Every structure is written in C-alpha cells, then in structure tokens.
Amino acid sequence: MLTLHFAPNSRAGRIVWLLEELGLDYELNRMDFHPKDMKSNEHRARHPLGRVPVLDDGNVRIYESGAIVEYILARHTDGALKPAVDSPLFPAYLQWFHYCEGMVMPPVNTIVVQTILLPPERQNKEALGQAQRLLTKALAPVDEQLEGKDYLIGDFSAADVMLGHACFMSQRLGCVTDEMLHLQAYIERVSTRPAFQKAMSS
C-alpha cells in the first residue's frame, strides 16, 4: 500500500491528484502545514528538511514531487500518462514536466514567503513585486504552448499534473493575466477534473 505524507496547499496535492487519476490505492497521512507537524522528529525522519510530499512504498521512501510522480509512473503503471520514449511528443513532455519546478515554482515560492509565511514587518515589497513579474513572465510560454490544445502535449499527461497544479496556484496568486486566454481555459479544464477536485479537498 502506498502511503503519502501530505499537507494541504502544498506540492503534495500533485501526488494525490496523480494517485486519483491513476485509480491507485493509497493511504494519506494528513499533516498541518505547521512546525509542530512538519518539523517534528517523526517527520524529519522521513524528510531531513521537514517537507512534503513524502511517499512510502513498502521499503522504499522517496521525496520531491517530480521524483515521486516519475517513480509512481515507472513502478505502478504500464506506460500511463506519459508518451513512449520514441514518441515525437516525448521531448515536449519532458520539457513541460520540468518547466514547472525550473521556471514557475521558484517565483511562486517567493510570493508565498513574502505574503503568507513572513510576518508583515519582515515582508519585502520589492522582492514580492519582482517575483510576481517573474511568475507572469514565466507563464507566458505556457499560454502560447496551449494554443489549440486541451492539455500541454495534446492529451492529458503527467506534465499536466506537475505544471497544471502550478498554474492553478499561480492563478490563485493573481499572476495569470487577462490576456492569457489559453492558460485561463486550461486552468478551468484542469480544475474541473474529478481527480483534481478530490486532491484539492483532501
């Protein structure tokens, strides 16, 4: 049985979404996004920095959301939600899968720190503004990629689990502009998938 160590409003939501899309059995260890849970000795034994998600699969323990997604697809599916290596779609799949953590999530992290995690007296308006502009800029190529497509490479894939979740978060942070019509439609499409809704309500 897969066990996912999870906190709401975090990258761990991607893994719940993936597990629901695949119809896999799993248990959820739901924790509060608070030091009493995240920085506890019990959880630090799972992740040295006290972060989520962490996946337990028998005697295997793995963290980092992208690594967990790739692990689940490789170990628990028969080629689901990703194109074959010799498919012409495979390079684009890889690019957009990794674009999430490479380009979108760094400014998202800064925005969350500057608006939620830091007390008001320690927040930096210049750092916040720079991160907001950078995030909007990083989303522009995603909007272009989605022109004429329902999902990033056409059909729904694990790249959408990674980047679609990040785009949804970006919209909540107010960084998806009115001009990004393809991206807005994509976020609506993603957010109405039953597996996504189940993940967001976990």
Mean pLDDT of 117-128: 95
Is residue 85 assigned to a domain?
Answer: no
Distance of CA 4 to the CA centre of its chain: 15
- For residue 36, the enclosing domain spans 2-76
Is residue 94 assigned to a domain?
Answer: yes
The 3-state secondary structure of the chain reads CEEEEECCCCCHHHHHHHHHHHCCCEEEEECCCCHHHHCCHHHHCCCCCCCCCEEEECCEEEECHHHHHHHHHHHHCCCCCCCCCCCCCHHHHHHHHHHHHHHHHHHHHHHHHHHHHCCHHHCCHHHHHHHHHHHHHHHHHHHHHCCCCCECEEECCHHHHHHHHHHHHHHHCCCCCCCCHHHHHHHHHHHCCHHHHHHHCC
The pTM is what? 0.95
Burial of 25 (0-12, 13-18, 19+ CB in 10 A): exposed
- Last-in-domain residue among 27, 52, 76: 76
- pLDDT digits over 129-179, tens only? 999 999 999 999 999 999 999 999 999 999 999 999 999 999 999 999 999
What is residue 33's predicted lDDT score, i.e. its pLDDT? 83
What is residue 86's predicted lDDT score, i.e. its pLDDT? 98
Contact criterion met (CB below 8 Å) for 190 and 160: yes
How does residue 110 score in pLDDT terms, banded at 50, 70 and 90?
A: very high
Please check whether residues 171 and 94 belong to one and the same domain: yes
- pLDDT digits over 59-97, tens only? 999 999 999 999 999 999 999 999 999 999 999 999 999
Please check whether residues 95 and 71 belong to one and the same domain: no
- pLDDT digits over 16-58, tens only? 999 999 999 999 999 998 888 999 999 999 999 999 999 999 9
Please check whether residues 61 and 107 belong to one and the same domain: no
What is residue 34's predicted lDDT score, i.e. its pLDDT? 84
- Last-in-domain residue among 51, 76, 101: 76
Contact criterion met (CB below 8 Å) for 31 and 52: yes
Of 109, 94, 106, nearest to 158 by C-alpha is 94
Is residue 51 assigned to a domain?
Answer: yes
Please check whether residues 169 and 97 belong to one and the same domain: yes
Q: How many domains does the chain have?
A: 2
Mean pLDDT of 180-198: 98
Instruction: Name beta bridge partners: 26.
Output: 2
- Last-in-domain residue among 76, 100, 129: 76
